[in-house]
Amino acid sequence: MVSAELDLAGLRRVYGRPGSWLFYTLVARNARHWGWTEPGQSKWRCWRAQRQLEGVLGRKLALPTGSQVLDAGCGTGTVARAMATRFGLVVTGVDVLDFHLRDARRLSARAALDGRTKFLWGDYHALDFPDASFDGAYSMETLVHAYDPERALAEFFRVLRPGGRLVVLGPMSPPPEEMSPQGRALIEAYIDDMVFPGAKQYHTGNMNQLLRKAGFQVEEALDATENYLPTSAALYAYFRVPYALLSRLGPIDRWLNMRSVVQMYHVRKYVYWYIHTAVKPL
Ligand SMILES: C[S@@+](CC[C@H](N)C(=O)[O-])C[C@H]1O[C@@H](n2cnc3c(N)ncnc32)[C@H](O)[C@@H]1O
């Protein structure tokens, strides 16, 4: 059953419009996440940066081949397929958008990965799996959408076996009291536009605490902003002119994702990119 707290209509607006579909399919080649650039690498190769970020995730999960892993908010399954092919993991993805799940299944079948990836409808606040079902879990740029991040983290904890590993990747702001009123107004408009209720509830100041409250031991809270910023800068450079032209032709929210990459650059001063690695104690 769909929770009344889940803003499905908002998520459909963010990901379901033809402009978003074109952006994610043609530009991002189905991935719906940012990228990791090493110092000294060119910022322009965004697809390489995305593959590198998936590599970082696989290494942080650090699980043996054949491990069962949950992908919370799997989108069209790009990350799940990377975990299966590059790290030998067996991935179950859940998402609340039927059209993402449809594409995820189709793309996995096309890559002959349907035996090692599966995709189910599920809200990660209330997962339909027994306790201790998974050796690992990750959330790639999805916890920002959580309507109740504490509940989502508790659910990840429940479905992990003792010793299981969690990696949470994504953007977050500094604590509200550390931002100027102008900065807060900017970031909050962005957060509302993109349906990021989670981003109003957690921030750089409380994420470790929330993980511990769910029962996890925090192994690492990595501020990876320097590795993510080149992707922001490149996307801004690629899209600011098309964005300016399209905004003259009609309502720009048809191109919400293009607007998002342009806006993300404007709010970059208030955005940190973190990778949290946590373990469910034995
Ligand atoms: C930015 S996309 C990331 C997709 C994928 N992780 C990737 O990196 O390509 C966020 C995804 O989270 C999903 N999502 C949002 N809230 C969710 C929830 N409560 N339960 C499951 N999935 C959710 C969205 O539908 C969307 O597919």
Residue 1 forms part of a structural domain: no
Structural domains counted in the chain: 1
pLDDT at 271: 92
Is 271 domain-assigned? yes
Say if ligand 1 is within 6 A of residue 142 CB: yes
Domain of residue 50: give its range. Answer: 8-279
Mean pLDDT value of segment 250-273: 82
Domain membership of residue 2 (yes or no) is no
Residue 265 lies in a domain: yes
**Reported confidence tier of residue 226, pLDDT bands at 50, 70, 90:** very high
Q: How far is the CA of 124 from the centre of ligand 1 (A)?
A: 9
**Around Cβ 249, how many Cβ atoms within 10 Å?**
9
CATH value at residue 191: 3.40.50.150
Q: What was the pLDDT predicted at 268? A: 87
Say what angle helices 207-214 and 149-159 make with each other, to 10 degrees. Answer: 40
Tokens 């859940």 — which residue? 94
Q: Worst-scoring range by mean pLDDT, 5-14, 186-195, 254-263?
A: 254-263
Question: Cα dist. 20→12, 81, 98, 245 in Å?
Answer: 10, 21, 15, 17
pTM for the model stands at 0.95
**Closest Cα to atom 24 of ligand 1:** 73
**Burial class of residue 50 in the structure, from the number of CB atoms within 10 Å of its CB (0-12 exposed, 13-18 middle, 19+ buried):** buried
pLDDT value at position 140?
Answer: 98
Helices vs strands, H then E, count in the chain:
10, 7
Measured CA to CA, the distance from residue 218 to residue 275 in angstroms comes to 11
268 in a structural domain: yes
User: Band of the pLDDT at 204, cuts 50, 70, 90?
Assistant: very high
What is the C-alpha separation between 184 and 180, in angstroms, rounded?
6
Decide whether any atom of ligand 1 lies within 6 Å of the 81 Cβ: no
